[in-house]
Amino acid sequence: MAHSNRYENKIVVVTGSAQGIGRGVAIAIAAEGGQVVLVDRSELVAEAALDIQKVGLPALTLLADLETYEGAQSVVTQTIKKFDRIDVLINNVGGTIWAKPYQEYQPHEIEAEIRRSLFPTLWCCHAVLASMIAQQAGVIVNVSSIATRSIHRVPYGAAKGGVNSMTACLAFEHAQNGIRINAVATGGTEAPARKILRNSQAMSEQEKIWYQDIVDQTVNSTLMKRYGSVTEQVNAILFLGSDESSYITGTVLPVGGGDQG
């Protein structure tokens, strides 16, 4: 079944779209007719936008640090100034910075994990709600993770557990405003090597062992015994962001080969 126009005439903000799943989402939405706004704190986001523009599709880029409320508010303000509205917000910023047993984390590392993987979603949802309430319509898709049941990344799992909870609570609050809020809990995903590493320091030999433990646990926890592809994650996100999911809200959809997270 073709879905070539699901996003026609939709203004869609995709955060964390410089690379990985976010980049894939932005390109796919543009291909389905959406006016996509690519947001990242890395200037690499311009390369993703260029790939969209090369095939004659519209794309706008905004640089912002979404770990701050000011960054989130600037994205909403600039998008509404240009397009008058935001129809769909896809919150994709996040990712494990360190991989190790919880007792090995330093306090500043725990705080950094929460800032990276919870606050961008908290801030962006808060920033966009007033406009969506005013228009009595809108869709938010939060990218979560099956790492809420995992090993060696407790702070990240806690952050994504927060994303799941706020998804349910916001859906409860704002169904009356015509706003749907759902989440995709991504499983292990085979993505191209990151151009900008989440952790600028190379892993120690012990950290490499701990990271391999995560990989092994992730594969073993799936029924399919494999990682997913970027496309498999993108497909689920686009479904929840589209009108095809019009009777779904407050749901966290695990996309982890049978691992429910």
Q: Provide the CATH number for the domain around residue 82.
A: 3.40.50.720
Catalytic residues: 156
Q: 183-236 pLDDT, tens per residue?
A: 999 999 998 776 666 667 888 999 999 999 999 999 999 999 999 999 999 999
Contact assessment for residue 143 and residue 184, using Cβ atoms and an 8 Å cutoff = yes
With H, G, I as helix, E, B as strand and everything else as coil, classify residue 228: strand
Q: What is the domain range of residue 168?
A: 11-255
Quote the number of domains for the chain. Answer: 1
Q: 130-189 pLDDT, tens per residue?
A: 999 999 999 999 999 999 999 999 999 999 999 999 999 999 999 999 999 999 999 999
pLDDT given at position 192: 75
User: For residue 160, is it within any domain?
Assistant: yes
Distance CA(25)–CA(32), nearest Å, equals 11
User: For residue 176, is it within any domain?
Assistant: yes
User: For residue 4, is it within any domain?
Assistant: no
* DSSP letters spanning 87-117: SEEEE-----S--S-GGG--HHHHHHHHHHH
User: For 88, phi and psi rounded to 5 degrees?
Assistant: -135, 135
**DSSP assignment letter at 202:** P
User: For residue 235, is it within any domain?
Assistant: yes
User: For residue 31, is it within any domain?
Assistant: yes
Instruction: Tell me the pLDDT band of 2, cut-offs 50, 70 and 90.
Output: very low
User: For residue 36, is it within any domain?
Assistant: yes
User: For residue 34, is it within any domain?
Assistant: yes
Amino acid residing at 78: Q
User: For residue 260, is it within any domain?
Assistant: no
Contact assessment for residue 66 and residue 15, using Cβ atoms and an 8 Å cutoff = yes
Distance CA(59)–CA(49), nearest Å, equals 6
State mean pLDDT over 65-74.
Answer: 98
